Amino acid sequence: MKFQYSIEDIESVASALLKQVTSKTLLFYGDMGVGKTTLIKALSKQLGSTTNVSSPTFSILNEYEINDGLIYHFDLYRIKDEEEALNFGIEDYLFNDQWIFIEWPEKLGSFLPEMFNKIEIKLNLDGSRALKLSSNTNLTKQKAKKQEKN
């Protein structure tokens, strides 16, 4: 699923995304300043958070209460590799039933949960954003089929 939007449309984009996601784990890809945290603020608000959402660049993790649980918001920009993430206990967060938003997930290498949605954001020349939502559901099904054959 693809979206073209301006920052003024962020609330409706967040609402539409939440209707389309197939996992509570959302991985955010995009260059610095493209609007990952801004989108996460809108998603958190849609999920019922009244907390002031901000980028956890220095703390790595922020936690927000929502109507029916929690959101764990990671910003992995400052970590070097997946080993550093394991050292601060990221696996304790990844494998639960709460919402998980991860900025800079490429820093986790191969250490990603099985089910997630990937959100790629690009800045267009006119200042609008192009967003692509995808799921790893098909990858998981393909892996299962390969294991059945072996």
- Is 83 a residue whose pLDDT tops 50? yes
Question: 148: which DSSP letter?
Answer: H
3-state class (DSSP) for residue 58: coil
Identify the structural domains of the chain with CATH numbers, from first to last. 2-149 (3.40.50.300)
- Is 146 a residue whose pLDDT tops 70? no
**Full-model pTM:** 0.86
Mean pLDDT of 89-117: 88
Mean pLDDT of 103-108: 92
pLDDT at 148: 53
pLDDT at 137: 59
- Is 108 a residue whose pLDDT tops 70? yes
Whole-number average pLDDT of the chain: 87
* 128 φ/ψ sector (left φ>0, alpha ψ -120 to 50, else beta): beta
Mean pLDDT of 103-128: 91
pLDDT at 23: 94
Task: Please state whether beta strands 2-5 and 129-135 pair in parallel, antiparallel, or not at all (unpaired).
Answer: antiparallel
The tens digit of pLDDT for each residue in 9-60 reads 999 999 999 999 999 999 999 999 999 999 999 999 999 998 888 777 677 8
